[in-house]
Each structure stands twice: as structure tokens, then as C-alpha cells.
Amino acid sequence: MVVSAVLSIIIIAGVATVVTADTNVALGKPAKLYYACPHPNMTDTGYKAVDGNTNQTMMGNSCFETGPNLSNWWYVNLGKIYEITEVKLYNRIDCCSERAKNIFIMIGNSLEELKPVDYSPDPIGAIKSFFMFPNTKGKYVKLQHEANTVFHLCEVKVFAK
């Protein structure tokens, strides 16, 4: 499995110090969504949001899309509890990007214990980062879409310490 992290070397008073940025802990993890939309020649699964492919077009085979519904959702199981620092969403940009709105971000140690930690009532644009309060911990990150339309994203990155 490939792990996404940024590495920097800082030199202070002649001493080199290695600093690592938070890691994308969602990459390659199990993900599910509510009611995948059947597109011809495409398999819309929740996994597409954590496959590392940040192409933001549906034909780039990188995006998931649900069917139309009052309340759609997508979640990732991170495998263990992490201190989550940021959730970064990559929206579809080839069409219909205005649909990615009214999104609740929920985090918890189980699907039954999810708590809302952020909300975006307006369209998220091409890419949007949501920064978490310190000590936001969880094993699951769920996106609840309350827009009475289809829900699509092309990548979801969950950064943690």
C-alpha cells in the first residue's frame, strides 16, 4: 500500500530536523456509499474516493456518484482510531459541481457513534479542506449529503497524526 505524506527538512542553527506532515490515512481503505448510480461502462463504488486518483472528471474513472435521493452518504473505515486533522474533498469539475453542497462531515469510532464536526451548506468548489479541532479522533469518516440530488466526489483525503 502506498502512504501519502510530505517530508520536509528544516535547518535551524546548523542542525537538520526532519518534519513529516500529516498522512492521508484514508488512501486504499474500505469505503462505501449509499445507492451507487449505474453509469454505462463505469463501476461507481465508494472506493473511487480513496484510490489516490485525483482526476476530477467522471470519465477519468475517479469519481463516485450516487443516485438521486434526499439524503445520500459515503464513508471510509480507517481501520483504527486516528487523531484527524483535516478532511479534503475533491469535487467533480466536468459537470454539476454545484451539487456538492449541504455536506455534513461526521467522525466517530463506530458507525453508530458518529458526531458532526463540520458542515458546508454552499457548493464546495473544486477542492475544499475542512480543518478539525485538536483531539478530533475517530475510525470512521462519513459524509452525509442532504441536498435532494445525486452526490459525487472524486477523492476524499483524511489527514491524521
Q: What domains are defined for the chain?
A: 23-160 (2.60.120.260)
φ/ψ (deg, to 5) at 65 = -150, 130
Residue 36 is predicted with a pLDDT of: 67
Residue 18 is predicted with a pLDDT of: 42
Residue where the block lists cell 449529503 = 145
Residue 78 is predicted with a pLDDT of: 98
φ/ψ (deg, to 5) at 101 = -145, 175
Cα torsion 75, 159, 102, 139 to 10°: value is 40
pLDDT per residue, tens digit, the chain (161 aa), is: 444 444 444 444 455 444 457 999 999 999 999 876 666 545 557 899 999 999 999 888 888 888 888 889 999 999 999 999 999 999 999 999 999 999 999 999 999 999 999 999 999 999 999 999 999 999 999 999 998 888 999 999 999 98
Residue 12 is predicted with a pLDDT of: 42
Rounded Cα–Cα distance for residues 145 and 150 (Å)? 9
Rounded Cα–Cα distance for residues 96 and 155 (Å)? 16
pTM: 0.85
Q: How many CB atoms lie within 10 A of CB 71?
A: 13
The grid coordinates listed for 104 are: 455534513
